[in-house]
Amino acid sequence: CKQLGTFGMPSLSRRGDIMIGGIFPVFNKQDYMNPSYQAKPSPAKCIFDLRAFRWTQMMMFAIDEINNSNTLLPNVSLGYQIYDSCASPTRTLQATLTLLDGQKKEEEAPQACYPPLSAVIAESGSSQSIAVAGLLGPFHVPMVSYFSTCACLSNKRKYPTFFRTIPSDYHQAKALAFLVKRFGWTWIGAIQSDNDYGRNGIQSFTEEVQKMGVCLAFIGTVLRTYPRNKILKVVETIKQSDVKVILAFVPEGDLYPLMQEVVLQNITGIQWIASEAWITAARPSTPENFQSFGGAIGYVTRKMAIPKLRDFLVNIRPTLDPEVGFVNDFWESMVGCDPRLKYGAGESRACTGNETLDQSQNPFFNVTELRVTYNVHKAVYAIAHSLHELIFCKTQSPDGASSLCVNVSQIEPQQVTNYLKKVHFINSFGEMVFFDENGNPPPSYDIVNWQLIGGRVQHVTVGHFGPAPNGSYELQIKDNDIIWHTGKLVPAGFCSAICPVGKRKAQIKGRAVCCFDCIPCADGTIANTTASDCTPCPETYWSSDLKDRCIPKEMEFLSYRDTMGITLTALSLCGACLAFVVMAVFARFRDTPVVKANNSELSSLLLLSLLLCFLCPFAFIGRPTASSCMLRHTAFGVTFALCISCVLGKTMVVVAVFRANLPNNNMARKFGPAQQRAIVCLCTAVQILICSLWLSLKPPFPEQNLRLSNKKIILECNPGSETAFYAVLGYIGLLSAVCFMLAFLARKLPDNFNEAKFITFSMLIFCAVWLTFIPAYVSSPGKYTVAVEIFAILSSTFGLLACIFVPKCYIILLKPERNTRRHVM
């Protein structure tokens, strides 16, 4: 019998032992650029879609192949019922109800209707498939989609009987994100269709690219039934935006109105990224559209050549069965005449009956690059293989023959669903066909590029995307094969130019994160790549002037090459020479009264200590080492203790001598040469003891001071024990204070030669220098700390030398008449 659609819908049908339903958008809603539509929207009208009609023919062709096979479903015939959905969820539901209604009529009048429905092949649009899957689920009828990619359909709780032979948009979204990242596009626009396919696709894509730092400038929404003013709003958004890369996640029928408007307004200079729904569609792939969409790149499923299909297609004839659904519309679209005029219908040119399709060059007959059509082929064979596994079972006979295990009339749709979940076979083209736990095939895409070759738009394969051995994804692109709308130059896709080395991104208030200014990195940080942030240099490095690399920090210490180092060295040498000259003068005139009256032994020891004090700065100048750090403070402490001890001894002698004329005063006897030596040795020994404990317990050591300067490393000597350091200075201060007080007490003693006043001045200078030294030492940075300490050493040493010995040298050398015993006494 011939099952008529309950709603009077066009259909293709043939009876078989097992029935398979098919729903295809053979007709699509009216063309957007129809003049009547622009002026005044008219009621919905469908136009014939050759592409979808070929899908119906592939289903019929595949079923014929299976029925003629001796290995797949032998002696079991497959029948089909194919209905048109007009790409409308409402019409899709009508077609689904018609298919389900056939099962009820089978029970009521078996002799007049088809056998029960075992499976359905549907639909191209995700929204339509959602409607079908939601309706078939409660009846446990399995459906296999050939072109619905919405990731939402993978939800087995909502759609337990849904399968598909095209990868889910979950994988396509990842693939598109990989493509955007591959070419460095960070600022793009997006167009979505106002249905489940577009909304879910863009949502998945957005989630993926946000992880990569990509921003969507806008998301426009289109639909084939939108009035023109809505389409124009999207076009205006495109024109006003600075975006040069746009992703269109839209079915071909929904995108076509926007494409026509873009071409009409001559909008060029945009790189289009396409979803699989329109990149290889024939209707938009025209030279007229190429001026605006040339260079478009997108993903498609695997293509396949099926040569035998061409013979099947060219043999379509309305004369064989004039009442077969869709064939008359196909003939009118292909040949240009209406075969129904012979039967008194239609207004087009009547056919003569001699028309043929054998020599037609229409792309409809090109069976070398079938993609969606091939998906229909896989869907039919997946159902056939699951039915075969259900009906036939292998016996234990030696020849491994199969026997009938289930009566064909007793097949339940739930059983077909269970076997579809387990189906796993290699088809005649060498591809492995199976479904995962969500009813999806393994993800695999070709990357195609719109190129104008020989005056025709060609879809050139330029790469591949698929699973990698490590469980991730792998993107392979032949860059040299791609022709963009800019030629061979990859289009720019960013809101702000990538920051050059040495600069970082600074977010612009109120703009997307992909729109930013570039500002130099802060001192001590660099950006030697085009990364968005600056990275700090290691502790011992500093950023270059361009902030593009880390350079070693300058090592700072008081060097012999510095002007300051040279000056202090010269002063030290001058002081040492001066001390040596004074020693030479005292040695030369050692027998004169002035030298004898000054206790030549103490004077010589004092001059020696002053000479050593002048040489101390050499331990402070130069790169600090472990030995120089230990030497500089201990040598300074011991030599100055020796120096002040000698001065203290001289002071005590002066006080004792000039107090000796008092009655019964024998103090002078207590400060003879032995006692003077003992005072010097004892006072110096205390300092030596302090320094020895310092060096043995916690000695000074060289260190790199990174705190004082960001750009420099201050090489300095850490005192090790600050207590010991201040003990050394404090002890020197104690000796000088005692010496100063004694000298101050004896400053007014009578006689021509009174050394106390000179010692008082020298100690006053000494104390003033070192009291001033403390704040200067604390506040001076880096090498200036060492310079201040050297300056204090030299100043105090020069003060002692000048105050104690210069007056005597003045008398010895310039006033010899005063260098007599009588004058001294």
Give me 260's structure tokens: 């026509």
- Give pLDDT, residue 36: 38
- C-alpha 27/C-alpha 466 separation (Å) is 33
How far, in Å, CA of 306 to CA of 289, rounded?
29
- 563-824: same fold as 169-300+444-481? no
How high is the pLDDT of residue 824?
A: 61
pLDDT at 459: 92
The CATH homologous superfamily of the domain defined by 11-167+365-434: Response regulator (3.40.50.2300)
How many Å separate Cα 822 from the centre of its chain? 96
Among 782, 767, 657, CA closest to 716: 782
Write down the pLDDT at residue 9.
55
Residue 339: predicted pLDDT: 75
pLDDT confidence of residue 692: 92
Domain range summary for the chain, segments of one domain joined by +: 11-167+365-434, 169-300+444-481, 317-356, 503-552, 563-824
**pLDDT given for residue 29 in this prediction:** 65
HSE-up of 687 (CA within 13 Å, CB side)? 28
- Rounded to whole angstroms, the Cα distance separating 780 from 79 reads 100
Q: What is the pLDDT of residue 532?
A: 67
* Ranges of the chain with pLDDT below 50: 1-8, 34-44, 104-112, 343-346, 396-397, 752
So what's the pLDDT on residue 41? 46
Residue closest to 370 by CA, chosen among 435, 300, 451? 300
Query: With b meaning 16 or more CB within 10 Å and e meaning fewer, what string describes 309-326?
Result: beebbeebbbeeeeebbb
- Provide the pairing of β-strand 271-274 with 46-48: unpaired
Give the Å distances, CA to CA, from 735 to 61, 141, 191, 509, 679: 117, 110, 91, 69, 11
Structure tokens at 278: 């329109």
**Tell me, what's the pLDDT at 263?**
94
pLDDT value at position 461? 93
Residues 6+ apart with CB under 8 A from 581: none
**pTM, rounded to two decimals:** 0.63
- The architecture in CATH of the region 563-824 reads Up-down Bundle (1.20)
Using the structure block, give the residue that is written with the tokens 């103490």.
Answer: 602
The three-class DSSP label of residue 17 is: coil
E strand intervals along 310-365: none
The pLDDT value given to residue 755: 67
Smallest CA-to-CA distance from 332 within 312, 308, 311, 316 is with 316
Task: Answer whether 190's CB lies under 8 Å from 202's CB.
Answer: yes
Burial label, 793 (beta-carbon count in 10 A; 0-12, 13-18, 19+): buried
608 neighbors 616 (Cβ within 8 angstroms): no
C-alpha count within 13 angstroms, C-beta hemisphere, residue 9: 29
Q: What is 169-300+444-481's CATH topology?
A: Rossmann fold (3.40.50)
Q: What 3 state SS string does 196-246 have? A: HHHHHHHHHHHHHHHCCCCEEEEEEEECCCCCHHHHHHHHHHHHHCCCCEE
Question: What sign does the CA torsion over 751, 752, 753, 757 have?
Answer: positive
Q: Which helix (H) or strand (E) holds 453?
A: strand 445-453
Q: Is the peptide bond before 123 cis (omega within 30 degrees of 0)?
A: yes
CB atoms within 10 A of CB 3: 20
